[in-house]
Structure 1
Amino acid sequence: MSSLPLSLATPKYCNLNPKARIATWNVKTLNDTRAAGARAEILVQRLSENSIDICCITEVRWPGSGSKSISGWTVAFSGRDDDLKRQGVGIVFSPVAARSFIAAEAISEGVMLAHFQLKSKKLSVICAYAPTNDYPETEKDAFYSELQTALEKTSSRDTVMIAGDFNAQLGAEDPCSWHGSLGKFAYRKPNLKSNDMTHRLLNFCVSNELVVRNTFFNHKRIHLATWMGLTADDNAPNIRSQIDFILTKRVSAGQVLNCRVFRGAEFETDHWLLVSECRLTFKKSPREAKPVRYSAELMRSDDVQKEFRAAVNQQFDSSRHELSRSPEIAWQQFQSAMQVCGDDLLIAASQPHKPWLSARTLELIEKKQIAYRELLSTRKEGAIMALRKDHGNEKIPLSKKKYRTAVNLCRKSVRQDKREYWRKMSEELMGDFQKNNIHSAYQRLNLRMERETAKPLGSGSVRRPDGSIATDRDECARLRREYFQKLLNCQRDIHPSVWDRLPVHA
C-alpha cells in the first residue's frame, strides 16, 4: 500500500511535537534610570532570542499593577501599593501566547496569577518572589499565604505552573524525605545547609502535591545553578546556588519535557534564565477584522480631493447604464462606488512602530553580550582568571574589565538615543502646531501616552460578585446573563393607587 505524503496524511492543525517554553528570570530591575528606560525593550529582545513564550520575572520594581505592550510583547506586572520601587513580579508573554491570554490578577508585590487558554484546558501561571531567609517570620508567612491563595484560585482541571525566585536551597535535602516533590538532581555543593525557606517551600509542595521540576533533570552543574553571588575579591571564584525553581502539579509533571539554565542570555543581573520546555499548545483565538478607517490628513489634501472626484466620476460614467431607478439600489451602487474609490485613495499606509534604540546601540548591546559570554567562560569555580596590572598593584580580570566597559558604553549610548528620540518628537510636535495640525499633534501625544501608561489588569475580563476574575467560558456567559437581567429587568414596587391617578385619554 502506497503511503500518503506527510502533508496530506497529517492535518495542518496537528502539531506532532508541540512545545512551549516557559521560563523564570530575576531581572533585578526594569526601572533602571541609567539605562533610560530601555531595560524592558532589551528584556523582550533577550526572550525573543531564546524563543520564550511566557516568562515569570521577579524583582521588577514597578509600583502598582497593570500591563504594558512593548515591541509586540505584553508585560503584566504587580508591585507595591505604596509607590515604593521595590520587589514586584511580572509575567511577560509573546504575541503567540497573547492570542490565548484570558486574564491576569495581581495578588501582591510577591505573587501574580495569569490564565491562558490551551486547546483542551487552561494554563494557570503563578509568578512568585519569596523573601530571603533573614526576613521576619510574619513576612514569610504572608508570602506563602498569598501563594496558597493564588493556587486556590486555579481549577483542579487546569495545568498549573509556579515559577520564580524562592530564595531556598534544596541541595542539602534528601529526595526520599519529601514524598517525591524533590528530585535527585538539585544543585549540591560541600557545606551546603538548608534554611527556613527551604523547609517552607518543600512543605508547600508536599501539602499541595507539587513537584520542583528543575530538580528532576540531570544536567551539567553550570546548567543547574540559577544565581551567582559576586565575591569581594575579583580573583576569587564566585558563589553559585540554585534558588529559582519551576513547580508543577504531580499529575501533570510529565508535560515538562526538560528544564535547565541558559547562561548566554545577558541582562546585567546576577541570575540566569531558567527555561522549561513543555508539551503545551496554545489555542489561537480568531483575529477580528479591523474596520476600515479613512485618513483625515489625505482628505484635507487638495490633490487627493481632485483625484478622488475624478475617480468617483469615472466610476459612475462606466456604470451609468447599470444605474437602477429604485432609490435603494441606486443608494447601494453609490455607496459601493464611494467605498471603492475611498479604499484606493483615502487609506494611509500603516507605519509600524520603530524602536527608538539606534543601530549603534543595538550593536553595543550585542558586544556586551559577547563580553558577558567571555566572562562566563573564564569564571569557573575554583579557577583564577587571567589578570592584568592596573592602577598600581590593583589586579582586575581581563574579561571582567571588558564586560564593565561594554556595560558603561551601552548605557551611555542608550541615554543618547533617548535624548535624540525626545528631541525629534518635540520638533514634530512643534511642526504640527505651527501648521495648525492639531489632530496630528494630539495623535502623537496620545500614542506616546498609550505606550508609556500601564493598562489596568482585568479591564476586559468578567468578575464574580466577590471581585475575583472568572476564567471559565460558561461561567462568564452566566455572569453576563445575570448582570443584564438584573440591570434591565428591574422590579419596581408601585402602589396600585398610583395607576388609578394616571390620566386616561379616551
Structure 2
Amino acid sequence: MRLRTWNIGTLTGKSMEVVEVMVRRKINIMCLQETKWVGLKAKDLENSGFKLWYSGTNRTRNGVGIIVDKTLTQDVVDVKRVGDRTMAIKIVIGQELINVISAYAPQVGLDTSSKEKFWEDLGDLVQGIAQTEKLFIGGDLNGHVGRETGNYGGFHGGHGFGERNEDGEAILDFAMAYDLFLANTFFKKREEHVITYKSGSSKTQIDFLLMRKGDRITCKDCKVIPGESLANQHHLLVMDVHIKRVRKKNKTWKCPRTRWWNLKGEKQAIFKEKVITQCGWDREGEASQGWDSMASCIRKVAKEVLGEFKGFAPHQKESWWWNEKVQTKVKAKKECCKALYKDKTDENGERYRKAKQEAKKAVREAKLAAYDDMYKRLDTKE
C-alpha cells in the first residue's frame, strides 16, 4: 500500500489531474490539505473509480480530504470529520483495520489558541482509535523538526532538515504522547527528497507522515517526489507500507476411496463372508434395481472391512489427446531442462529452448488432431 500526503493549494478543477498522478505513481491513498472545498461530503471522481472524502467550511482557506483508489473504495467503513483541518477514514484490508488521518495544522502567524485547538482535536481523534488498529497520519503540520533528534530519539529518526522551531517541538511532543514516529525522518535521503516546501530561496520540511512505533517494520520507504507540478510550492511526500492481505485458502476437494489393496489374507475372508450373508439378490424385482442394491451393499461392506482412504483428489488434467509423439517431445524437454540446471551454458540454454518449442508444437498438433477426429465422429453419428 502506498500512502501519500500533499498540500494541493486548491482542489477545484484539479481532481482528474490528482487521479492521474495517483495512477501514474501507484498511490492507494492520498491525504490532501488546503482543498478549499466546502461541505462534509463524499464524491466519486468522474469515471475513474476513485473516491474523495472531504471536509471544509471556507472557499478561500483550509479544507482537508482523502482520496482512495478504486481497489479500496468498497473497503471504507467509517468517516470522521473534525472541522476543516482534520478528518479520518477507516479501511478494512484483509484482517487489518487501517485508520488514515489527513491533518492541516495552523500556519505560523496564527494565534496560539487555534494551534492548541488543532492539537487537541487531533489528539481526541487518535485516542478514539484502538491500539489494535493501524494508524497513519498524513499532513501539512507547519512546523520544523530539524535534523537533530535531541530528546526525541525513537520518534525522530535523525534525517530531518533545517533547525527545530516551537511548532516542530509541538509535533514531536504530540508524537511522543501517542507513541508515533515521523516516517520521513527515518530514511536517509538527498536534500531534494527531504524538502517538502520550496518557495524561491526558502525551503523547509513541514509535511510529515506519522505512524505507530509498533508498526515500524511495515514502513518500507518514505521520501519526497519533487517532480509533480500540481502544487507549485508543496512537494509530494510518499510512504510505502506493506500490509499483508490474508488470502482465503481454497477449499480442498477430497475424494474418499476404499482401500481395496487390503483385500487379502484375513480381511479377504471376512469380506467374502459378509458379502454372502448381507448382500443377497432380489429375484422378484428388476435386474437393474437388484444390481444397484447389491453394488451398494458390496461398497458398504468393503468400506467397513477394508477401511477408507480420505486423501486428496488427484489433479484432473485434460490429457485425452496425449500421444506417443507428445510424450517423446516432453521427455526430451525435461532432459534438456535438467542438463541446463546442472550446467548453465549457452549451448544447454539453446538446446532447452528448442526442445521447449518442439514440445509446444507437438502438443498443439496433437490437440488439433484429436479435436478434428472428435468432430468427425460427431458428424458421422448425426
What is the TM-score with the length of structure 1 in the denominator? Answer: 0.47
Q: Deviations over 1:158-206 (max 9, x none)?
A: 110011100111115x314114110111123xxx3x3221111111011
Partner residue of 1:30?
Answer: 11
1:121 to 78, 89, 96: 96
Supply the distance in 2 between the matched residues of 1:85 and 1:284 (Cα, whole angstroms).
Answer: 46
Partner residue of 2:243?
Answer: 280
Please say if 1:259 is aligned against 2:259. Answer: no
Partner residue of 1:98?
Answer: 73
Q: Deviations over 1:80-135 (max 9, x none)?
A: 2xx54320000001001213211211111110010000222200001100011221
Partner residue of 1:385?
Answer: none
Q: SS in structure 2 opposite 1:251?
A: helix
2:16 to 38, 41, 46: 41
1:117–1:282 CA contact under 8 A, matched in 2:
no
Structure 1's 268 and 212: CA in aligned 2 closer, same or farther, altered over 3 A? closer
Q: SS in structure 1 opposite 2:71?
A: helix
2:40–2:55 CA contact under 8 A, matched in 1:
yes
2:39–2:55 CA contact under 8 A, matched in 1:
yes
1:79 to 56, 79, 86: 56
Q: Deviations over 1:192-238 (max 9, x none)?
A: 3x3221111111011111100110001111101111113xxxxxxx2
Q: Deviations over 1:334-361 (max 9, x none)?
A: xxxxxxxxxxxxxxxxxxxxxxxxxxxx
Partner residue of 1:207?
Answer: 177
Supply the distance in 2 between the matched residues of 1:100 and 1:21 (Cα, whole angstroms).
Answer: 16
Percent of pairs with identical residues: 26
Q: Deviations over 1:451-489 (max 9, x none)?
A: xxxxxxxxxxxxxxxxxxxxxxxxxxxxxxxxxxxxxxx
Structure 1's 118 and 268: CA in aligned 2 closer, same or farther, altered over 3 A? closer
1:88–1:109 CA contact under 8 A, matched in 2:
yes
Structure 1's 124 and 268: CA in aligned 2 closer, same or farther, altered over 3 A? closer
Write the letter of the residue equivalent to 2:217: G
Q: SS in structure 1 opposite 2:6?
A: strand
2:161–2:195 CA contact under 8 A, matched in 1:
yes
Write the letter of the residue equivalent to 2:177: S
Supply the distance in 2 between the matched residues of 1:264 and 1:281 (Cα, whole angstroms).
Answer: 30
What is the Cα deviation at residue 156 of structure 1? Answer: 1.0
Partner residue of 2:85?
Answer: 110
Please say if 1:216 is aligned against 2:186. Answer: yes
1:100–1:284 CA contact under 8 A, matched in 2:
no
2:152 to 178, 184, 208: 178
Structure 1's 158 and 242: CA in aligned 2 closer, same or farther, altered over 3 A? same
Structure 1's 268 and 165: CA in aligned 2 closer, same or farther, altered over 3 A? closer
Write the letter of the residue equivalent to 2:11: L
Q: Deviations over 1:390-412 (max 9, x none)?
A: xxxxxxxxxxxxxxxxxxxxxxx
Q: SS in structure 2 opposite 1:252?
A: helix
Matches within 5 A, 1:212-361: 212-230=182-200, 238-281=201-244
Structure 1's 103 and 243: CA in aligned 2 closer, same or farther, altered over 3 A? same
1:131 to 106, 128, 131: 106
Write the letter of the residue equivalent to 1:242: Q
1:27–1:58 CA contact under 8 A, matched in 2:
yes
Partner residue of 1:153?
Answer: 128
Supply the distance in 1 between the matched residues of 2:60 and 2:22 (Cα, whole angstroms).
Answer: 23
1:100–1:283 CA contact under 8 A, matched in 2:
no
What is the Cα deviation at residue 281 of structure 1? Answer: 4.1
Structure holding more strand per residue = 2
Supply the distance in 1 between the matched residues of 2:143 and 2:247 (Cα, whole angstroms).
Answer: 37
**Structure 1: gaps spanning 5 or more residues:** 1-19, 32-36, 231-237, 286-506
2:155–2:181 CA contact under 8 A, matched in 1:
yes
Supply the distance in 2 between the matched residues of 1:284 and 1:106 (Cα, whole angstroms).
Answer: 32
Supply the distance in 1 between the matched residues of 2:90 and 2:31 (Cα, whole angstroms).
Answer: 13
Partner residue of 1:34?
Answer: none
Matches within 5 A, 1:377-396: none
**Residue correspondences, number:** 246
Supply the distance in 1 between the matched residues of 2:110 and 2:144 (Cα, whole angstroms).
Answer: 16
Matches within 5 A, 1:366-377: none
2:196–2:205 CA contact under 8 A, matched in 1:
yes
Supply the distance in 1 between the matched residues of 2:21 and 2:176 (Cα, whole angstroms).
Answer: 34
Supply the distance in 2 between the matched residues of 1:202 and 1:41 (Cα, whole angstroms).
Answer: 35
Q: SS in structure 2 opposite 1:253?
A: helix
1:187 to 161, 177, 183: 161
2:105–2:115 CA contact under 8 A, matched in 1:
yes
What is the TM-score with the length of structure 2 in the denominator? Answer: 0.62
Write the letter of the residue equivalent to 2:33: T
